[in-house]
Amino acid sequence: MIIVLKPGATQEQIDHIAERLSKVGLKHHVSKGSERTIIGVIGDDRILSAYPLEAVPGIEKVLPILKPYKLASRDFKPEKTTINIDNKVTIGGDTLVIIGGPCSVESEEQILSAAKAVKEAGAHILRGGAFKPRTSPYDFQGLGKEGLKYLASASQETGLPIITEVMDPREVDLVVQYASIIQIGARNMQNYSLLKEVGACKKPILLKRGLSATIKDLLMSAEYILSSGNPEVILCERGIRTFVEVTRNTLDISAVPVIKELSHLPIIVDPSHAGGNWKWVAPLSKASVAAGCDGLLIEVHPNPEEAYSDGEQSLTPTKFINLINELKPLVKLMGKII
């Protein structure tokens, strides 16, 4: 950490800072420049995060040198993390993992029909929401436990592992019984009670980036899960909120290579929520694969017009099959398999 002093900072102020650093066991080095004096802090200064140095008189700004996340960083674990799902598919390895299915589980028939279509297209994992975070309290809130049961029978029928969202720490125990992967939605990315709860369970977690989360924020939320004892975290870029008006969100495609450099965790992309319209799903999927992502999370509905939620961004089974077929040579070109 580098502490930059204000012009005119007094020796008394410098001594006071030095004393604070010594108190927590950190050494330092004072360097007087022509326009500013700076203090270099020596040692693992992450322990200073609890101390508001910027409240100390004489300090202009504090520049961190080290990253605030540790377990999630490449510095800590240089080799890539791979996550095995039910001995059926591995995320973060050679396979470009395709997760498909409807936004919400609406009925036993609907999810089974979706599961068969998704399976036929060659996808690896079935998605479907039983607990739904909806902006409006008047919108469909999901079938709850019944939805989980329908997911389970669709899984049994097709052999596809299941990913489904959990919104409430009280429902983690229930969801764990049905899901192969637990999803944390974008709006809950900084719901720390929930992160700690899923950090204590034994299932892989797919953590969606929040609408206004920086890369650092996303990795800090992953750190919550990792530091609670669960090493299996899959990150998911799903678009951020900007001033752009045509698409629902703005897919931050750079997040794919950036996260691959900063972290060892797998990174997948959700082109359905990023674009907000089925029209953009194909080009955004291709872009994501070309940028090097580990997988795609795509909304597929047997009949999007009748969907209870997110119909406008769902692919029909036919469009989904076509997309997977178009992706295959691209995936191969990227040195992966589908």
Judged by CB under 8 A, which of 66, 109, 177, 200 binds its own copies?
A: 66
231 binds its own copies (CB under 8 A): no
304 binds its own copies (CB under 8 A): yes
337 binds its own copies (CB under 8 A): no
- Pick the piece of the chain touching its own copies (CB under 8 A) from 81-89, 113-121, 153-161, 220-228: 220-228
Under 8 Å between Cβ of 54 and 1: no
Closest to 102 (Cα-Cα) out of 125, 126, 81:
126
84 binds its own copies (CB under 8 A): no
Please state the closest distance from residue 240 (CB atom) to its own copies, in A. Answer: 6
Q: Which of residues 132-171 bind its own copies (CB under 8 A)?
A: 133-140, 167-170
Q: In what order do the strands lie in the sheet with 37-42?
A: 27-32, 37-42, 2-5, 59-63
Q: 18 or 330, CB closer to its own copies?
A: 330
- Cα dist from 91 to 220, 268, 294, whole Å: 21, 9, 7
- Cα dist from 6 to 18, 53, 222, whole Å: 15, 13, 36
Under 8 Å between Cβ of 34 and 12: no
Distance, in Å, from the CA atom of 26 to the CA atom of 43, rounded to the nearest integer, reads 6
Q: 151 or 281, CB closer to its own copies?
A: 281
Residue 333 buriedness (CB in 10 A; 0-12 / 13-18 / 19+): exposed
80 binds its own copies (CB under 8 A): no
Q: Specify which residues 315 forms β-bridges with.
A: 300
55 binds its own copies (CB under 8 A): yes
Please state the closest distance from residue 10 (CB atom) to its own copies, in A. Answer: 16
Q: How many residues bind its own copies (CB under 8 A)?
A: 107
Give 124-164 as a 3 state SS string.
CEEECECCCCCCCCCCCCCCCHHHHHHHHHHHHHHCCCEEE
Q: Which of residues 176-215 bind its own copies (CB under 8 A)?
A: 187-188, 190-193, 210-212, 214-215
320 binds its own copies (CB under 8 A): no
Please state the closest distance from residue 231 (CB atom) to its own copies, in A. Answer: 14
38 binds its own copies (CB under 8 A): yes
Distance, in Å, from the CA atom of 289 to the CA atom of 330, rounded to the nearest integer, reads 8
Q: 36 or 119, CB closer to its own copies?
A: 36
224 binds its own copies (CB under 8 A): yes
Q: 29 or 88, CB closer to its own copies?
A: 29
Q: 107 or 153, CB closer to its own copies?
A: 107
The crossing angle, in degrees rounded to 10, of helices 255-262 and 215-227 is: 40
Judged by CB under 8 A, which of 24, 63, 200, 337 binds its own copies?
A: 63
Question: How many residues in total does the chain contain?
Answer: 338
- Pick the piece of the chain touching its own copies (CB under 8 A) from 91-99, 120-128, 173-181, 245-253: 245-253
12 binds its own copies (CB under 8 A): no
77 binds its own copies (CB under 8 A): no
Distance, in Å, from the CA atom of 194 to the CA atom of 192, rounded to the nearest integer, reads 5
